[in-house]
Chain A
Amino acid sequence: MTFRDIAVKNLKSHIRKYLAYFLCSSFSVMVIFMFSTLIFNKQLTDFCKMINVSFITYFSLVAVIIFAIFFINYAHTTFIRSRYKEFALYMTLGMTKKDINRIILVENSLILIFSMLIGFISGVLFSRLFQMILMKLINLKKVDFAFDFRSFLITFLTFTLIYVTVIILSRLSTRKLEISELLKHSRKIKSEKSSIIIGITGIAIIIVSSITLLFIANNRDLNNMLTFMSYFIIAFTGVYLTISNFGPLAVKIIKRRKGLYYKNLLSINEIDSKFSQNKKILLVLCVLSSIIIFSVASPFALYQQSHNIALNTSPSHIEYASVAGVNEINRNDLDTILKNSDTMFTGEKSIEFLKLDYKGGGDKYDLLGIKPVVSASTYNSFLDKQLVVPEGKAVNIITAWEPGYHGLPSGSRIEFVSGNKSFTYEIQTSSKGTFIADGNVFPSSSGIILNDKDYERIKAASASDVIGSFKVFMFEDWKKTGNVIENLKKVFTGSNSKLSNPVAANMFKLSSTLDTYGNLKKVYSVMLFIFSFMGLLFIITSGSVLYFKQYTELAETKAKFGKLYKIGIQKKEIKTIISRELLMTFFSPLVFGAIVGYSAMYLMTFMVGGSFILAPFMEFASLAIIAYFLFQVVFYLITRKKYVREITG
């Protein structure tokens, strides 16, 4: 019998194990592929860039890849572990470790190749559907399905890399094993390495990181994507440490009371051994459930709150900058438009500013090299604030969405040029915040506030085309301002096109609560779709992981309870023990996931808006958790029934 014959025979006799492993792999390939196509879908990325949410596609791809790493690693280890006995037998029959490694390598390569094949085929099919729905949501009529070869490449590389790592890891762990160890391994249940101190540290990490998050959420400089990702990583490190040491910790605590310990010995023991056997899988379940909670709840909350978020980001119902002939409209025409409004026009304001050229610093938001400059008193009276700016200093208020100082950090200098004079100020503070008008109205990453005297000095030196004003209009019902917006835009497009530089003129946009609202709704519906889809995937995954886990354990558990049955355990007692263990396995990930999910939601609230949407956000998070919980209860009851029947039958 040649080596190949043995490998083939193997494959035949363990077809179910292979199949499960193979399906997991194919599923991972499919999912990674689907999400990587999003990155290279130009229509989608353009759209996301336009509305400043390009992170969505990357974020979801990264999430999916992390998930695949755990998932495949899990599938692989269970697969290998279930075969230790077989390997031991081969080794007693004279096979070397090298041969065993070759078997592992050949099998895994075959599985890799075939799951890649199946994964790509199903990925291409589902991607079409996936993208079609997405494009519908952002109102694109023409949809291109050019599958970028880079998405194949990314999937291929990611997946191969995961596989190689996983194989190396399992090789490292089998290298140490002797035949006797291999045989023992299937019996050995306790991991001796667990430590109570580490377990407590784990719990502390979760608590401290979550509380820290609550505090920094309100800090505009700190609540960014980086904090968000770091929190995930730190919190889940804590979760892992807790889970992997939970068993001994619980045992230690309960052991103090002998009566309680002995009374529940079998349940405690079952939970303890299942926890130390399945720590990786429990971690995966925790991550999955936090992502499920977060990814289902946040887009729903955002979508539902788009009204409030729009009002918060664009409090002025209609606003535009009018300067140097740009966005000019004569009073009569304006009055006619306002009179024809579908909703009552309730007031207007005109806020003076200077459109100043400046030297140095700037990025894609500052293509024209200009900044809107207002005096401190103008700023204070419009926004009802008490900002004090000393002479010679300037306050920089960043209106761009992206993090960073956009070339003007605190302490740096800004030099304005007006007429033939130059004026230099030191930036006193530079931070995100609300300027007179939002970022679209004036093509710049920020607005500048100067001391009234400095302001007057520049104004005196400036030509009249530097002096402009922000126009702000308020209505009774901003949702009915559609026709006003349309009419104004029509007038401005006409008049701006007659200017010497119409391209630059068109960068002074008319901004409205209604447009913001419309855009937000689009963004959120895309998020809703992508995230709910991810949520759905993860629910399926988490369900199948649990199912997979139960069934790999079935034989072992059955044997254990068979032994207990002989010395006199009742069916209902078996049921109690199994129920308790399943309860822990099914619901502890949910608890940890809920903690992390809640905290992440909290941070998210401040990232997109502020405390005004906190209540509805947390409400949605709670709803999501409750829904997930109920779903899990049903799943738990079904599994328990089937599982108990399998064990006692």
Chain B
Amino acid sequence: MNVLSAVNLQKVYGGRDEANTTKALNGLNLKIESGEFIGVMGPSGSGKTTLLNILSGIDKPTSGTVEISGKNLIEMDNDQLAVFRRQKLGFVFQDFNLIDSLTIKENIILPLILDKRSPEQMEARANAVMSLFEIDGIADKYPYNVSGGQQQRTAVSRAIINHPDIVFADEPTGNLDSKSSTSVMKCLERMNTENNSTILMVTHDSFAASYCKKIIFIKDGTINMEIVRKGTRKEFFDRILDCLAVLGGERNDI
């Protein structure tokens, strides 16, 4: 089943005069099927974050359309988009995007709170997801008192608490050490295999990308190539490195 389809996306940033504009996306097309776990890679400045923001309705494209679960995002206004996001989408960000004044548990149930669900549902789902990602011990702590890995797993929990149609992750391991990165990527992998969640993840970390089932490489605002995972993760990891070499991007730019 088709979850997301984007057609001919263009995004131009910048000023009135030609010289000052940046073409971040340049006629990009993308289709995502239910249950896919797609990685988006590309050199820094190639438009990855821009793509993710547009697909998730945080930003609007200059032209082109985005459809998620049959709904056209372009036609919605900001408030409709907000409701759509909290009901149908999940997010994981590089800087975790947790609210410092809320406890870990409260942060996790935020999408449900925004959507005014029943407290029973919130409690039940929160407990389930927290034990899934092994953060139930820190439920009542505040984000600034737990480790980066725990914060990101909190964010991952929050991303799936509303059973979203698709989860967007922007550099989820960007601020983490390798141990925490592994634990977070395992979480995402489990989300995908056990819950059958659809995930679109932007990353420049080849190790993180090797957890995906498919990688698309973008350059200059369009999809440059696409590889699908076959065999072990190690093999996939090597192929990703090869592709990056071909693409001419930096191997490990941060």
Contacts and interface: CB of A to CB of B under 8 A. Distances in A.
B114 A190 contact: no
B252 interface: no
Interface string A177-211: 00000001001111000000000000000000000
Given A263-B116, A566-B58, A187 B91 contact: no
Interface in A249-270: 258-259, 261-263, 265-266, 269-270
B118 interface: yes
Given A187-B144, A190-B142, A262-B119, A568 B101 contact: no
B106 to A, nearest CB: 6
A259 B116 CA distance: 9
Interface size bracket, A side: 20 to 34
A174 to B, nearest CB: 19
Contacts of B99: 269, 560, 563-564
Q: Which 7 A-B pairs have the closest CB atoms?
A: A568-B86, A568-B85, A258-B119, A570-B82, A273-B101, A189-B101, A570-B79
Contacts of B109: 262
A565 interface: yes
B172 interface: no
B111 A567 contact: yes
B84 A566 contact: no
A270 B97 CA distance: 17
A259 to B, nearest CB: 5
Interface string A563-579: 11111111111000000
A189 B143 CA distance: 11
B101 A190 contact: yes
Nearest to B56: A566
B100 A189 contact: yes
A262 B113 contact: yes
B90 to A, nearest CB: 8
Contacts of B87: 568
Nearest to A574: B82
Contact of A568 (B111, B119, B123, B144): B111
Interface in B71-89: 78-79, 81-87, 89
Nearest to B95: A563
A265 B113 contact: yes
Say what secondary structure dominates the interface of chain A: helix
Interface of A: 184, 187-190, 258-259, 261-263, 265-266, 269-270, 272-273, 560, 563-573
Contacts of B142: 188, 190
Nearest to B115: A568
Contacts of B133: none
- Chain B at the A interface: SS class: helix
23 contacts: A184-B144, A187-B100, A187-B144, A188-B144, A189-B100, A261-B119, A263-B113, A265-B113, A269-B101, A269-B106, A272-B101, A564-B99, A564-B110, A564-B114, A565-B82, A566-B85, A566-B91, A568-B82, A568-B83, A568-B111, A569-B86, A570-B79, A571-B82
A265 B83 CA distance: 18
B93 interface: yes
Nearest to B117: A262
A190 B85 CA distance: 29
Given A189-B101, A567-B86, A572 B79 contact: yes
Contacts of B213: none
Contacts of A560: 99-101
A273 to B, nearest CB: 4
Contacts of A567: 85-86, 91, 97, 110-111, 114, 158
Contacts of A273: 101
B100 to A, nearest CB: 5
Given A190-B142, A263-B113, 13 more contacts: A187-B143, A262-B109, A262-B119, A265-B106, A269-B101, A563-B97, A565-B82, A566-B93, A566-B97, A567-B114, A568-B84, A570-B83, A571-B78
A246 to B, nearest CB: 15
A268 to B, nearest CB: 10
Given A266-B113, A573-B114, A568 B89 contact: yes
A217 B122 CA distance: 54
